[in-house]
Amino acid sequence: MNIAVIGTGYVGLVTGVCLSDLGHNVTCIDIDEKKVEKLNNGKSPIYEEGLEELLEKNLRQERLTFTTDYTRGLAQKQLVYIAVGTPQGDDGSADLTYVNAACRDIASHLENDAVIVTKSTVPVGTNEHIKETIEANLVNDVSISVASNPEFLRQGSAVHDTFRGDRIVIGSNDEEALELLEKVNAGFRLPIVKTDLRSAEMIKYASNAFLATKISFINEMANLSEKIGANIDHVAKGMGMDKRIGESFLNAGIGFGGSCFPKDTRAIISIGRNVENDMPILENVVDVNERQRSIIVDKLHKRVTDLSNKKVAVLGLSFKPNTDDMREAPSIDVTEKLLDKNAEVVAYDPVATENAKEVLSNKVHYATSIEKAVQDADVAIILTEWKEIKNFPLHEYKARMKEALVFDGRNCFTLDQVKNSGVEYHSIGRPVIY
Ligand code: NAD
């Protein structure tokens, strides 16, 4: 099938590359010339395991190409995916500026009938708005239908999730569009949920809101466990073995970040507000998450009352492991709070350093290894559970730091691992180990 994908971010690029790998002819369109040039040279602008190999392979086999030219990109495409960003607007709602721009660009350049498929996470009703906007601006005599195909990939395992996800959701009020999308996705061999437009849009928000709720819930349990002498690792294990609860997303820590959970939970609250439907559970999910980021710094401050000129090694900056994405990463708030207390912050991340430099204060220093970050540090704080950080031997903290004082915001080590290591270890929802 001939497919265009608009937007080559985490979602658009992975979608385009994976669809081409199934044998479809794919042209990805982006307004960012540098990105497009890089991609045509086989270089991925984002870090995702396995992506660059698939990109090179499908470029070589001439099934995949990148352009900034909408006329070329849309020529003879039966399906046009919209995968541009929908960031959070000032009032918490999704900002549709990029979606609207993409619609106008489609309308001005589309020369044949096509199904417009929205991958971007958009408020319920947006696909109808997309149809109206494109139809109102069409330059040529062509007809379109619309479908919603929300994306569930996780950054850090995006390629794996595209081929091995739990389900594909396709929604449309047009039977032919649904059939076409079913055919396009058949190669993934995943269960397909077919529904109407609005339900498909709602499935995406409801899924993310539920996962965010699970995280805030376990964090609330962790905070209580700590105060009453329970261990959240054991609590979560005991809960998760109940199949009705499930073991995933029960890792206590400093809360969720990234480009999806924070904005999507706020967006669904805003969708509710627009129809005078309160969302008290989700309001609290957001509050608990925001508070959770301060907890690690508050603990540290309680233990080391004067942080001025103390060297604090911050380990992990990206919002989660295996990605270079810094959007809404808890490290942004945490480093800010540490700098406010006049600490000297030396940070290390295996891949997110360049992106971090763009969003963190220029007072933050960067180390090129964990060893260098913790060398002669007064305190270490773990903010992202990278494998490298989880595998860093505890005795190295003891050997290198002025005082082996570790605050772990991601519970990277079991308490048994820490006992007798000589490290003073503070984590989330578990007793302190001295
Ligand atoms: P992103 O910001 O990484 O990428 C968006 C891309 O769109 C950029 O490359 C930008 O240059 C391009 N773009 C903007 N306007 C354009 C236009 N008019 N024409 C062509 N290209 C244009 O965004 P992302 O993280 O890939 O997210 C895209 C959407 O998918 C969002 O709605 C997001 O909520 C949703 N989503 C993201 C994830 C994720 O893990 N990142 C997962 C599921 C869903």
- Which CATH superfamily does the domain covering 2-195 fall into? NAD(P)-binding Rossmann-like Domain (3.40.50.720)
Written out in words, the top-level CATH class of the domain with range 196-434 is: alpha beta
Four-point Cα dihedral 345, 347, 352, 355, nearest 10: 30
Predicted local distance difference test score (pLDDT) of residue 308: 95
Please give the structure tokens belonging to residue 39. Answer: 């991609």
**Ligand 1 atom, smallest distance to 105 CA:** 18
Mean pLDDT of the residues in the chain: 97
Q: How far apart are CA 324 and CA 271, in angstroms?
A: 30
* DSSP 8-state symbol, 391: T
Residue whose C-alpha is closest to residue 264's, from 218, 220, 215, 206: 206
> Can you give the pTM of this predicted structure?
0.93
Residue 289 confidence (pLDDT): 96
Q: How far is the CA of 310 from the centre of ligand 1 (A)?
A: 39
CA atoms of 434 and 427, how far apart (whole Å): 12
* DSSP strands (E only) in 258-400: 311-315, 344-348, 365-366, 379-382
Average pLDDT over residues 190-209: 98
Show me where the domains of the chain are located.
2-195, 196-434
**Residues belonging to the active site:** 260
**Best residue among 11, 34, 207 to mutate for probing ligand 1, ranked by most atoms within 8 Å of CB:** 11
Mutate which of 10, 70, 325 for ligand 1 pocket (most atoms within 8 A of beta carbon): 10
- Distance CA(420)–CA(242), nearest Å, equals 33
Atom of ligand 1 nearest to the CA of 8: 9
Q: Report the pLDDT value the prediction gives residue 282, as an integer from 0 to 100.
A: 98
Q: How far is the CA of 348 from the centre of ligand 1 (A)?
A: 27
Report pLDDT for 126: 97
Q: Three-state SS for 245? A: coil
415 vs 235, 258, 383, 392, CA distance in Å? Answer: 14, 28, 18, 15
- pLDDT exceeds cutoff 90 at 259: no
What pLDDT digit, counting tens, does each position of 56-95 carry? Answer: 999 999 999 999 999 999 999 999 999 999 999 989 899 9
* Residues in contact with 342: Cβ distance below 8 Å, sequence separation at least 6, in sequence order: 307, 308, 309
Query: Does the predicted interface ipTM exceed a cut of 0.95?
Result: yes
What is the rounded average pLDDT of the residues 281-292?
Answer: 96
* Ligand 1 mean position, distance from CA 87 (Å): 9
Confidence of residue 297 (pLDDT cuts 50, 70, 90): very high
* Span 355-381, average pLDDT: 98
Residues with CB under 6 A from ligand 1: 6-12, 29-32, 35, 83-86, 98, 101-102, 105, 119-121, 151, 153, 155, 259-260
